[in-house]
Structure 1
Amino acid sequence: MSGTPGPVDDRALVLFDVPGEDVAALLAAQDAVRRDAALAGWVAGAANALRAATGEPSPGPALPSREGLDGASYLPVVAFAEVLPDLLAHHEALGVSPEVSAATLADVGRMLTRNRRWFGVAGLGDELAGWLTRHLTGAIVQLGRLQYERVHLGQGTGLELGMAGVPVGPGDLVLSVHIPGAGGPLTPDAVEASVAAASTFFRRRFPGERYPVAVCWSWLLDPQLAELLPASSNLVAFQRRFTLGRALDEDADLTVRKFLWDAPSTPVAQLPADSTLRRAMLDLWRRGGHWHSHSGWFPWR
C-alpha cells in the first residue's frame, strides 16, 4: 500500500463488530493517521505485511513496533480496516460464506472489549492485536462454536506429537482449535456440529491439504479439570476429545483469571465464586495449587 489510508467505513465497523464506545476513538485515530506521516507509515507497513501473508497458514507476520508513536492505540484496527477488502476477496474466492466471514471478524470487537477489561485502556495492545493478525490473513475461521486455524507446527509441539506416534513433525501443517469466549455453552452437540462443519469446510476449500490431527493449546486441557468438575460437565466432555500432552512452560493462573473472570488484575480474594468452576478454581488456589495450559490433539477426519 502507498499513500494515505482510506477511511474506516461502515463495513469495517459492522464486520469487526466495533463496540459503540470505541467508534468515535477509532474514527479519530484514522483522522490522525491521515495527518501524521509516521502513523500512516505504520499502518502502511502493517497492512502490506498482512496482505503479503493472505491465504498462508500461521505463523503470520508480526505487527511493527509502535514504540515512540503518539496516539497509537487504535492503529492495528485502522490497518485491519485497510486489509479488509483484500481479506473479503480472498474469502469470496474460497467460497467462504458472508456469515462465516462475519463470525470470524467479530473477534476484532471482542478484543477491543477485552483489552479494556484486561488492561484498563482503550484500543489494542500488542498481545490482542497480534492474535488478530491471523483473522486478517485468512488463517483462521470461526465455524459454529469453535475456531480453526491452519498452522505450521512449532518445534516443541511437532517433536512432542512425533514422539507420541502421530505422523507429523515440526513445520507440518495441522489445524489448531480455539475456543472463543462468545458463542454459547460448549456442549458436546455444539462441538460435534462445529467439527463436522469444519471437516466439510477444509476438505472443500483446501482439497490439496491434509491435516493428520487437530491440535489445541489451552488452559481447558489441564487434567485437573476432570478432578474439579463433574464427569457430566461440558468442559470435561470437551477435554475428553483430546489426547492430552505436556504442560506448557509457564503456569496459567493468570490465564485463568483472564479467561474465566475477565479480571487479570483483580486480587484473588475479590474474585466472585459464582459458578462451579470458579469455586473449584478458587479452592485450588487456596490449597496452594496452580493451573497449567496443556497441549492436546485428536485425529482429524
Structure 2
Amino acid sequence: MKDALAALELARQTGMPKEVLLALQVQSETLELTALEPLLSALGDPAQSRQAYIGLKTALGEDADGWKMLWCQLVCASRQRKRYETDEVYIETMKAFSRFVNECRRRTGKYRFDRGWWTWRQVSDRVVRLGALEYEKRTREGQKVIDIHIPSDASLVPERVDASLEEARHYFDDSAKIPWTCDSWLLSPALRPLLPKDSNIRAFQDRFAILTTDKTDDEFIEWLYQRPVDTPIHSLPGQTTLQRAVQCFLIQGGKIGSALGVLC
C-alpha cells in the first residue's frame, strides 16, 4: 500500500495526464508485485537495472499499452527519492515518464508507455536532469564519460545550456577528469546549412568537436516531427521553419542522420 501511494503521488507530481493516472490506478489494484520484487529491487541498482528491465518485460507478459511496465517503474522510482540531492532534481528527472506518454500521444494519437527500454536509467539514478539537459555517467568504448542527453522539451538558449552545464559540473565529483559526450541528431553537420547563423541549435553544436557521424540514423524524424520514423517524407508536418527546411532537404535526397561529439 505504501509503495502504491508513493507511486501514484509521483505520477501526479510529474504531471501525468488524467487518463494515464486512471490506468495506473487500475494497475495498483490488479497487478500483484510480490513475485516481481526481486526484479523491482534490481531495477533500482545501476549495475543491474538494464538486465532487470529485460527480466521484468518478460515476466509481465502481454502489456499492449505499457501500463504494467510504467507502474512497476514508477513504484521502483518512488523508492529512490532519498538518493537525490534535492527533491526538485528528483521530480525534474522523473518527469521523463509523463513527457514520454505525452510524446506518444502526439506521435500516434494515443497515450501509451513505450519507453521502458530507456527509463530504467532514470529509475536507477543513471540519468539525472539538471536544468535544460539530462546527464548520464557511463562507459563508452571502454572509457568513462558523462553523456549529455537533450530532452524534447529542452531549451537550447545558450544561457540555459550554460546554467545546466555549470550545475552538472558541481553535481558530478569527477566532471573535470572525464570527457563529456553527446550523440544526437542535433549535432548533425547536415543541419548547419539549414539553420540561421543565430540559431540556438548552431550555438549548441559549436560547443562540441564532432568525432563521428551516422547518416543512416533516421530517429531525427521522431524528435523533429513527432512522427514514426517510417513516415513518408511528403507526409511530414511543416509547422516550423526547421521542419520545412529539413523536409525539403530530404526530398532532394539529403541525409540528416546524427553525430557524436565531445564537449570542447
TM-score (norm 1): 0.77
The amino acid that maps onto 1:20 is K
Counterpart check, 1:152 vs 2:122: no
* Contact 2:63–2:69 (8 Å) recurs in 1: no
Structure 2 unaligned blocks of 5 or more? none
> Displacement, 1:297?
0.6
Determine the structure 2 residue equivalent to 1:107. 96
Change (3 A) 1:145 1:15: same
Deviation at 1:23, TM superposition (A): 0.8
Out of 270, 281, 284, which is 2:246 matched to? 281
Instruction: Provide closer, same or farther for how the CA distance between residues 20 and 211 of structure 1 changes in structure 2, counting only shifts above 3 A.
Output: farther
Deviation at 1:118, TM superposition (A): 3.3
Asked if structure 2 preserves the Cα contact closer than 8 Å seen for 1:58 and 1:151, the reply is no
CA contact (8 A) 1:5 1:40 kept: no
Segments of structure 1 that go 5 or more residues without pairing to the other structure are 159-169
Q: Deviations over 1:133-168 (max 9, x none)?
A: 111111111111111111111xxxx3xxxxxxxxxx
Q: Secondary structure at the match of 1:244?
A: strand
Q: Find the aligned partners of 2:193 and 2:51 in 1 and give their Cα distance.
A: 37
Aligned to 1:143: 130
Map of 1:161 onto structure 2: none
Amino acid at match of 2:135: Y
* Cross-structure match for 2:151: 180
Q: How do residues 286-297 of structure 1 correspond to structure 2 at under 5 angstroms?
A: 286-297=251-262
Aligned equivalent of 1:29: 27
Map of 2:54 onto structure 1: 63
Aligned to 1:167: none
TM-superposed CA distance for 1:196, in Å, is 0.9
Aligned to 1:164: none
Counterpart of 2:118?
Answer: 131
In the alignment, is the contact (CA less than 8 A) between 2:127 and 2:135 conserved in 1? yes
Q: Does 1:220 align with 2:220?
A: no
- Equivalent of 2:172, from 202, 205, 209? 202
Look up the SS of the partner of 1:63 in the other structure: helix
Identity of aligned residues (%): 26
Q: Secondary structure at the match of 1:198?
A: helix
Residue 131 of structure 1: SS of its match in structure 2? helix
- For residue 86 of structure 1, the aligned residue among 67, 76, 79 is 79
Offset of residue 52 of structure 1: 3.0
Secondary structure in structure 2 of the residue aligned to 1:177: strand
Q: How many angstroms apart in 1 are the aligned matches of 2:82 and 2:48?
A: 17
Aligned length: 260
> SS of the counterpart of 2:137?
strand
Does the 8 Å contact 1:58/1:149 carry over to 2?
no
Match of 2:15 in 1: 17
Displacement of 1:230 after TM fit? 1.7
> How far does residue 62 in structure 1 lie from its aligned partner after superposition?
3.6
Aligned amino acid, residue 262 of structure 2:
W
Q: Normalised by the size of structure 2, how large is the TM-score?
A: 0.87
The alpha-carbon deviation at position 25 of structure 1 amounts to 1.0
Aligned residue in 2 for 1:257: 221
Aligned mates of 2:39, 2:258 — CA distance in 1 = 30
Contact kept, 8 Å, 1:29 with 1:74, in 2: the verdict is yes
Q: Displacement, 1:16? A: 3.6
Deviation track 1:149-198 (CA, whole Å, cap 9, x = no partner) reads 11111xxxx3xxxxxxxxxxx1x321100111114x31111111111111
**Structure-2 residue corresponding to 1:51:** 44
1:117 Cα deviation after fit: 3.4
Runs of at least 4 residues of structure 1 off by over 4 A? Answer: 56-61
Structure 1's 60 and 138: CA in aligned 2 closer, same or farther, altered over 3 A? farther
* Alpha-carbon distance between aligned partners in 1 of 2:71 and 2:34, rounded to the nearest angstrom: 10
Cα distance per residue 1:32-91 (max 9 Å; x no partner)? 213xxxx764x43541221333xx599775432348824462122221232134311222
> Aligned with 1:52: secondary structure?
coil
